[in-house]
Amino acid sequence: MFTAKAVIFDLDGVICFTDKYHYLAWKKLADRLGIYFDEQINNRLRGVSRMASLEIILERSEKEYTQEEKEAFAEEKNNDYREYLMTMSPADLSEEVKTTLDALRAKGYLLAIGSSSKNTKLILSKIGLGEYFDAIADGNDITHSKPDPEVFLCAAAKLGVPAAECAVVEDALAGIQAAKGGGMIGLALGGDAENCGLEDYDLKGFGDLLNIL
């Protein structure tokens, strides 16, 4: 059992899954630019900011691009991604996640989102959790993406809870690094967070939170 007053959740891969939409949008851009891109490369983008993700994709480019061009590429990708997101609905929120969140709230925990995505509020609204969380820290609030702890520290500050009293649920190694770097409890939920050696606990599933908190 862990002693915490608040639980901060990563969004993608924890609360819901939008990886496929990210992949489709980045693939569309890469194909247009004539750059090789596959799912293995896409895995390197998990938990990484939009601009940092673009730099990873452009590693395989034979051309050099200006900062202005890169910003245009990132905006193009985001527009395509948001179009895919518009197809999401409450059906994309699993019953296990919803019932576990409700049970944690009933136990008195404060609940927050800590995500590098600038589309966090749109995604939450589409899956029926638009007004659910006590605080949201996302890509619009930060200048450093994970593994920098900024987004989780921002969420803790918005909740008014000391970092040491926050548990973070993450599926990405960069997210666990961010949680531990911020002095928080790191709970790994699959992905490359699982068995990474930095986590405080490996969750067997989302509902396992009720067994340890």
> Catalytic residue numbers?
10, 12
CA–CA distance, 38 with 141 (Å, rounded to integer) = 30
Q: For residue 201, what are the β-bridge partners?
A: 187
CA–CA distance, 59 with 36 (Å, rounded to integer) = 10
CA dist 143 → 83, 108, 149, 160, 200 (Å): 25, 31, 11, 21, 27
19-33 and 50-58 helices, crossing angle to 10°:
40
Do residues 199 and 176 make contact, with C-beta atoms less than 8 angstroms apart?
yes
Q: Encoding tokens for residue 39? A: 């799912």
Q: Determine the Cα angle at 86 with ends 205 and 45, to 5°.
A: 55
Question: Dihedrals φ, ψ of 137, to 5°?
Answer: -120, 125
